[in-house]
Each structure stands twice: as C-alpha cells, then as structure tokens.
Structure 1
C-alpha cells in the first residue's frame, strides 16, 4: 500500500472532521450534546484531529500521527457503540483501522523518532 496516498486520504478526513468541530458546526454541536460530552471536549477533539491531520502530511511524523489518531478513534468507536450508532460505528472503525495501518506501515519511522533504531 502506498503510504503517501493513505496519509493524504486520512489527512483530508481528519482535517475536515476536526475543522467542523473547531468551527462549531451545528451537527457537531448536536452530536456532542447527544453524547453528553461538554463543549470544550468537542473543541479539544477538533484540535487533536486537525493537529493529527497536519502531522499526517509531514513525512517524518506521518506514522506517529496515524498511531495517535488511531488511539483517538478508539474513543469515537466506544462513543458510537454506547449510543447504538451503527452506521457511524462502521465509519469510525474503518478510520481507526486505516490510521492504525498507517502507523504500522511506518513503525520503523516511529522507532527512529523514539530513538530506537
């Protein structure tokens, strides 16, 4: 699999999703309210998604960003399970798997960043 294409696709997903949260779009506000999460958490999540999306576009950071975003997506998966949102669960699970795949494909890059060649 071409890691550059995967990184770009994931970056677009996270930049759009995080941007919607940071912009306070009505559907994001409604979702976080429905889930019982405070408003500040929506903005934090949006900021993390945008930061991760940017990280995916930096070759040296792309794999690490993918791993961090996969961890973030675990929370999204749990949220959708708890709220019986099955179609959204499928989407979130797919994004989680693709993010984890990006991290796995760049595991050597992550080891180098951690100082472990």
Structure 2
C-alpha cells in the first residue's frame, strides 16, 4: 500500500470544508441567516460568503491555483474570526482559527513547492 502524504490530502480536506460551508451559506437556513443579521451584515451577505467559499474550494483542488485558494480561504476564515470576536462569541472562534491555520499550512507548502519547482508547478 502506498504512503499518502498529508500535503496531498490536506488541500482536499479544506476544499471539502469550504464546499460544505458554501452550501450552508448559499442555502442559509434560518439560524445562519439570523446570525448574519444579528452581526449587522446585509440580508444578501450570506451569498457573498458562500460564493467566496466555493471559489476557495475550487482553487484548492488544483495545484496551480492552490496558493491562491489557500490565501482566499485564510482571508474568509480571518473575516469569520474577526466577526465572532467582535461580537464576543469566543466559543465560535476556534473553528475559523483552526481552518485559517490549516489554510496557512497549505499555502506555505504550495509556496515551497512552487519555489522549489517553478517550471512544472507539480506535486512531488
């Protein structure tokens, strides 16, 4: 059995996370919709968040766009982190902090691969 590298798996795990988040935000069941309103965002803002999350997921799947996907994913999660901290919902701060950190790890490994192999831009 071949050894599977976390460097190859982690981007897909993050992409799956962002797909689930995207669907949740685009469909916006009542609890999610009400949270956006409670935080002072416009009624349509859940569509923006869901679309950005879907974009991050798509970018994370392909090696050439992975660095951009990890940057977008990290920015989304830092926005979520800032929102819950500003509103004193510290218990909700852990998931965005973890996902932002994992996005940074994926971005860092993508950057390292890109600088180590700038011509082909492929996974080892």
Q: TM-score, normalised by structure 1?
A: 0.86
Name stretches of at least 5 consecutive residues in structure 2 with no aligned partner: 119-124
1:5 has 2:9 as partner: yes
Runs (4+) of structure 1 exceeding 6 A deviation are none
What is the aligned partner in structure 1 of residue 48 from structure 2?
44
3-state secondary structure, aligned to 1:61? helix
CA-based RMSD: 1.9
How many aligned positions are there?
A: 113
What is the aligned partner in structure 1 of residue 97 from structure 2?
93
Q: TM-score, normalised by structure 2?
A: 0.82
Pairwise CA distance, 1:109: 5.5
Alpha-carbon contact 1:11-1:57 (below 8 Å) kept: yes
Name stretches of at least 5 consecutive residues in structure 1 with no aligned partner: 113-117
Counterpart Cα distance in 2 of 1:45 and 1:70: 13
Larger Cα Rg: Structure 1 or Structure 2? 2
